[in-house]
């Protein structure tokens, strides 16, 4: 079964980063505060802030949790194994099964973090084999999910399974976003909101519009309200656009 790890091994990850000169102690403290504030893992925060190369960060993380790091381009993918798992599961848990080791008798899958015990058990029931994980970069994982499990794909064709003629097409289930897709959309939406808010503030301050209230006490609340409204509209539009 896949190894489980606790907090001391997360500190080992920090040690690997500093010993490898990927980040400084000061940078690590700042990024740890950011990760805690937004509720993400330390390695995810480092990737978001682009402090160090993604490959190096994920290699250090993989070492800290005792799971091999791989480049997906170097891993042979068995499409028959890929097809055995529902795309909804793939996107929900952000993982891709790539092959079955017949000699050792286990399924190899790639992911960006160790799978939880209940997820591992669910996958074991799908394949009727133990699971072994390999760590890759989020970019490689997202590309593999897009390639092997495109939006709208379905593992089971209900119409073909049914012996009765299909008179009405059943609605396809909505596939959940992967963690990487959700974080990327949230990041872009928040960035759009903040950019719009700042644009309104700087614009009104530069142009002194509306001039009638520029020197009044309610100028700042008015500007802030206008910025929040504009930022909310732009952020909502960006989120909807990325969700298509």
* Residue 39 sits in the same domain as residue 83: no
Q: What's the pLDDT tens digit per position in 23-51?
A: 999 999 999 999 999 999 999 999 999 98
Section 127-152 average pLDDT: 91
* Residue 28 sits in the same domain as residue 91: no
Residue 158 pLDDT: 41
Domain for residue 113, yes or no?
Answer: yes
Q: How far apart are the first and last CA of the chain?
A: 38
Mean pLDDT of the chain: 78
Domain for residue 163, yes or no?
Answer: no
Domain for residue 228, yes or no?
Answer: yes
* Residue 48 sits in the same domain as residue 109: no
Domain that holds residue 45: 7-65
Look-up: residue for tokens 């133990």?
130
Structural domain count of the chain: 3
* Residue 76 sits in the same domain as residue 149: yes
The mean-pLDDT minimum among 1-10, 82-91, 157-166 falls in 157-166
* Residue 138 sits in the same domain as residue 191: no
pLDDT at 155 over 70: no
Domain for residue 1, yes or no?
Answer: no
Residue 237 pLDDT: 76
* Residue 61 sits in the same domain as residue 77: no
Are the C-beta atoms of residues 234 and 196 closer than 8 Å to each other? yes
The CATH number assigned to the domain holding 90 equals 3.30.300.160
Domain for residue 76, yes or no?
Answer: yes
Q: What's the pLDDT tens digit per position in 194-204?
A: 776 667 666 66
* Residue 46 sits in the same domain as residue 108: no
* Residue 139 sits in the same domain as residue 111: yes
* Residue 130 sits in the same domain as residue 77: yes
Question: What percent of the chain stands above pLDDT 70?
Answer: 66
| pLDDT bucket at 218, cuts 50 / 70 / 90 | low
Domain for residue 165, yes or no?
Answer: no
CA distance 61 to 67: 9
Domain for residue 47, yes or no?
Answer: yes
| pLDDT bucket at 140, cuts 50 / 70 / 90 | very high
CA distance 165 to 243: 34
* Residue 76 sits in the same domain as residue 150: yes
* Residue 149 sits in the same domain as residue 204: no
Which of 24, 49, 65 is the last residue before a domain boundary? 65
Provide the 10 A C-beta neighbour count for residue 10. 15
pLDDT at 220 over 90: no
Domain for residue 231, yes or no?
Answer: yes
Q: What's the pLDDT tens digit per position in 168-192?
A: 445 455 556 666 676 777 777 777 6
């Amino acid at each position: 079964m896949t190894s489980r790890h606790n907090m001391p091994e997360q500190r080992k990850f920090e040690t690997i980063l500093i010993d490898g000169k990927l980040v400084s102690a000061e940078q690590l403290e700042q990024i740890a505060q950011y990760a805690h504030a937004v509720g993400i893992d330390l390695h995810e925060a480092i990737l978001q802030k682009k402090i160090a190369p993604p490959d190096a960060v994920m290699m250090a993380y993989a070492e800290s949790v005792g799971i091999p790091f791989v480049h997906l381009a170097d891993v042979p993918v068995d499409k028959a194994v890929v097809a055995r798992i529902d795309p909804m599961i793939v996107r929900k848990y952000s993982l891709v099964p790539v092959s079955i080791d017949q000699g050792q008798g286990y399924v190899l899958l790639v992911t960006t973090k160790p799978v939880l015990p209940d997820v591992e058990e669910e996958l074991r029931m799908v394949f009727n084999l133990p699971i072994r994980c390999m760590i890759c970069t989020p970019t490689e994982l997202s590309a593999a999910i897009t390639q092997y499990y495109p939006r709208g794909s379905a593992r089971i064709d209900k119409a073909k399974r049914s012996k009765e003629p299909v008179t009405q097409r059943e609605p396809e289930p909505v596939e959940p976003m992967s963690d990487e897709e959700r974080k990327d959309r949230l990041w872009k939406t928040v960035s759009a909101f903040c950019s719009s808010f700042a644009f309104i503030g700087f614009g009104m301050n530069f142009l002194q519009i509306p001039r009638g209230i520029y020197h009044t006490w309610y100028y700042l609340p008015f500007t802030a309200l206008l910025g929040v409204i504009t930022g909310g509209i732009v952020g909502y539009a960006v989120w909807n656009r990325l969700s298509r």
